[in-house]
């Protein structure tokens, strides 16, 4: 009897597992790309059909981008051809399973074409409207169809950050914040994600000031970091700055070295006290109050 | 001259005429052109990672990414954020410990917040049957020790681009 129940239970699980559809996100678009031979000032229009071929309702977003790529990475940019493309109608809409929609666009070439800026794309992104995943770790899976619009070639991915100028304090007192200023310019084509640190090495040991930031292409960025010596720090310090940067991994670096003299506050206090005592003794100034200490009888 | 020799002579003359008369033949070629529109299409299933104990690494069930279009594609993936977030916990789980098995490298590749290729030149759906080309992969996630309990979510995006996109 127990075996019969178990068999029936397993059968139900099997049938439910077979019949219940696995949820999936799917998008279809046609054509897969556009190739135009445009001359400066020319204009052309095109149309893409997009369809939800998955089993879930999707929130769809269509954007226009310039493509930057190498053999492994794909990066979007809003410059170049991205500014020549105009998408007609709504760029955000919902598609139920099986529904489709046409997206029209126009490319207006500028008076001067840089053909290395001229590989663009309509990026059609679909994400399930409802998160159907379960468990404590939930992964929502979205899909993106990249429909290239070629007038020229995709731009190269160039990671390049230049240090145009930098300033560091030469003399610091205890508790006096010193500013390290680095003027950086991104001369590449992709954003430079920065990490790194200023390592200050002196008689009393090492101190580390972390660096973090992002510089976008063609932007200038002033990085300012502050170090404040405490009671214990004194004497000459070597400040070695390493700024690691890269779009994906921080594999490139910029290095600088500076020397800072830290004058401790306690030394100044001691000097002032010493000078005062010396002055008092030299001039024979009697103190206005005298305290006599006597032994108890 | 009798009638029979006359008929024989006529048949002979007709036969000779038929044999020697010129014949005309014409050939014409026809070019038929048909354009099959290209379509790019992928399907990615939901993946239920389940629960992972803090301080350990979990592996997702295998799931299949399908090329359901009629062009070969390059497949890219990215995480939409730098960490898993929770609506009811203050901790986050960074994507530095989140990986996907890549067909390009043959090993687990850490997720980035920008697209990296995980399959180069994925074949199109089969002609005729339309059976998609499929590829099975898994995800791994390390949850830092003492991560606050809760439900943590992230969105992954899989991007398809027609293969042989010209490189700079």
Question: What does the pLDDT read at residue A157?
Answer: 82
Strand pairing category for A137-150 and B152-162: parallel
Are A199 and A260 found together in one domain? yes
A123: which chain B residues are within 8 Å (Cβ-Cβ)?
159
pLDDT per position as a tens digit, B38-88: 999 999 998 888 889 999 999 999 999 999 999 999 999 999 999 999 988
Are A177 and A273 found together in one domain? yes
Q: Do B159 and A75 touch (CB under 8 A)?
A: no
B22 to chain A, minimum CA–CA distance in Å?
54
Q: Do B167 and A139 touch (CB under 8 A)?
A: no
B167: which chain A residues are within 8 Å (Cβ-Cβ)?
69-71, 153-154
Are A32 and A123 found together in one domain? yes
B84 to chain A, minimum CA–CA distance in Å?
8
Domain with A182, as residue range(s), is 161-282
Are A30 and A144 found together in one domain? yes
Question: What does the pLDDT read at residue A153?
Answer: 65
Chain A residue with CA closest to B113: the answer is: A248
A148: which chain B residues are within 8 Å (Cβ-Cβ)?
161-162, 165
The answer to whether residue B25 scores a pLDDT higher than 60 is yes
B136: which chain A residues are within 8 Å (Cβ-Cβ)?
none
Are A145 and A184 found together in one domain? no
In A, residues 149-188, which contact B (CB 8 Å cutoff)?
A: 150, 153-156
Question: What does the pLDDT read at residue B23?
Answer: 57
Question: What does the pLDDT read at residue A257?
Answer: 95
Contact residues for B155 (Cβ-Cβ < 8 A; gap 6+): A127, A139, A140, A141, A142, B79, B80, B81
Question: What does the pLDDT read at residue A10?
Answer: 43
Q: Calculate what percentage of chain A has a pLDDT beyond 90.
A: 48
Are A169 and A271 found together in one domain? yes
Mean pLDDT across chain A: 86
- Suggest the residue from A26, A102, A136 to mutate for an interface test with chain B (most B CBs closer than 10 A): A136
The answer to whether residue B15 scores a pLDDT higher than 90 is no
All residue ranges of chain A with pLDDT < 50 are 1, 6, 9-21
Are A112 and A42 found together in one domain? yes
Are A88 and A173 found together in one domain? no
Question: What does the pLDDT read at residue A209?
Answer: 94
**What CATH number should be reported for the domain holding residue A32?**
2.60.40.10
Q: Return phi, psi of residue B116, to 5°.
A: -130, 145
d(CA A21, CA A252): 48
- Tell me the CA distances in angstroms from A11 to A7, A22, A132, one per residue in order: 6, 19, 25
Q: Do A145 and B38 touch (CB under 8 A)?
A: no
Is there a domain that residue A18 lies in?
Answer: no
Chain B residue with CA closest to A141: the answer is: B156
A116 to chain B, minimum CA–CA distance in Å?
8
pLDDT per position as a tens digit, B87-135: 889 999 999 999 999 999 999 999 999 999 999 999 999 999 999 999 9
Q: Return phi, psi of residue A13, to 5°.
A: -60, -45
Strand locations in chain A (E): 24-30, 34-35, 43-52, 58-69, 73-77, 85-87, 92-95, 100-108, 119-128, 137-150, 161-167, 171-173, 178-186, 192-202, 205-215, 220-227, 235-246, 252-263
- Suggest the residue from A58, A61, A137, A153 to mutate for an interface test with chain B (most B CBs closer than 10 A): A137
- Suggest the residue from B40, B71, B124 to mutate for an interface test with chain A (most A CBs closer than 10 A): B40
State how many domains chain A has: 2
Residue A133 forms contact with B (CB below 8 Å): yes
**What CATH number should be reported for the domain holding residue A168?**
2.60.40.3880
Are A89 and A166 found together in one domain? no
Output B22 or A10, whichever has higher pLDDT. B22
Is there a domain that residue A211 lies in?
Answer: yes
Q: Do B44 and A247 touch (CB under 8 A)?
A: no
Kindly provide the ipTM of the predicted complex, given to two decimals: 0.80
Question: What does the pLDDT read at residue A127?
Answer: 95
Are A172 and A117 found together in one domain? no
Is there a domain that residue A166 lies in?
Answer: yes
d(CA A141, CA A27): 12
Are A101 and A175 found together in one domain? no
Question: What does the pLDDT read at residue A296?
Answer: 77
Q: Can you list the domains of chain B with their CATH numbers?
A: 42-162 (2.60.40)
Tokens of A105: 């666009």
Question: What does the pLDDT read at residue A113?
Answer: 77
Which of A23, A28, A125 faces B157 most closely, judged by CB atoms? Answer: A125
Is there a domain that residue A110 lies in?
Answer: yes
Which of A73, A145, A148 faces B165 most closely, judged by CB atoms? Answer: A148
Is there a domain that residue A1 lies in?
Answer: no
B127 to chain A, minimum CA–CA distance in Å?
17
Is there a domain that residue A13 lies in?
Answer: no
Question: What does the pLDDT read at residue A43?
Answer: 93
Q: Yes or no: say if A58 and A52 are a contact pair by the CB < 8 Å rule.
A: yes
Question: What does the pLDDT read at residue B156?
Answer: 95
Mean pLDDT across chain B: 88
Are A171 and A145 found together in one domain? no
Question: What does the pLDDT read at residue A14?
Answer: 39
Q: Do B156 and A141 touch (CB under 8 A)?
A: yes
This prediction's pTM: 0.68
């Amino acid at each position: 009897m127990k075996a019969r129940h178990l068999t029936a239970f397993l059968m139900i699980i099997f049938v439910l597992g077979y019949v219940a559809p696995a949820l999936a996100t799917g998008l279809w678009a046609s054509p897969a790309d556009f190739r135009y031979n445009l001359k400066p000032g020319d204009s052309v229009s095109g149309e893409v059909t997009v369809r939800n071929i998955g089993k879930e309702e999707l929130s769809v977003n269509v954007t226009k981008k310039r493509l930057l790529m190498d053999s492994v990475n794909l990066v979007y940019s809003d410059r170049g051809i991205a500014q020549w493309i105009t998408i007609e109608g709504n760029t955000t809409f919902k598609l139920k399973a099986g529904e489709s929609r046409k997206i029209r666009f126009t490319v207006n070439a500028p008076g001067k074409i840089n053909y290395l800026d001229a590989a663009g794309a309509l990026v059609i992104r679909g994400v399930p409207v409802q998160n159907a995943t379960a468990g404590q770790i939930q992964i929502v899976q979205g899909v993106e169809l990249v429909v290239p619009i070629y007038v020229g070639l995709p731009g190269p991915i160039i990671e390049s950050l230049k240090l145009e100028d930098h300033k560091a304090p030469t003399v610091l007192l205890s508790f006096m914040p010193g500013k390290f200023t680095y003027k950086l310019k991104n001369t590449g084509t992709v954003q430079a994600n920065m990490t790194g640190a200023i390592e200050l090495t002196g008689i009393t040991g090492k101190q580390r000031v972390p660096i973090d930031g992002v510089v976008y292409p063609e932007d200038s960025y002033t990085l300012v970091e502050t170090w404040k010596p405490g009671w214990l720090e004194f004497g000459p310090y070597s400040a070695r700055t390493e700024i690691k940067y890269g779009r994906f991994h921080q594999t490139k670096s910029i290095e600088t070295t500076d020397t800072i003299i830290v004058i401790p506050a306690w030394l100044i206090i001691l000097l002032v006290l010493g000078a005062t005592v010396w002055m008092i003794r030299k001039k024979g100034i009697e103190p206005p109050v005298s305290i006599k200490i006597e032994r108890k009888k | 001259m009798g009638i029979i020799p006359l008929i024989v002579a006529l048949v002979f003359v007709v036969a000779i005429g038929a044999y020697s008369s010129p014949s005309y033949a014409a050939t014409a070629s026809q070019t038929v052109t048909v354009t099959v529109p290209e379509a790019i299409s992928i399907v990615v299933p939901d993946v239920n990672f389940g629960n992972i104990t803090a301080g350990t690494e979990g592996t997702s069930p295998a799931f299949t990414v399908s090329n359901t279009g009629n062009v070969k594609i390059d497949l890219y993936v990215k995480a939409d954020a730098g960490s898993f977030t929770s609506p009811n916990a203050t901790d986050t789980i960074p994507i530095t410990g989140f990986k996907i098995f890549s067909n390009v490298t043959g090993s687990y590749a850490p997720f980035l917040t920008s697209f990296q290729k995980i399959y180069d030149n994925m074949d199109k759906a089969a002609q005729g049957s339309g059976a998609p080309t499929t590829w099975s992969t898994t995800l791994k996630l390390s949850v830092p020790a003492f991560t606050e309990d809760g439900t943590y979510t992230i969105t992954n995006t899989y991007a398809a681009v027609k293969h042989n996109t010209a490189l700079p």
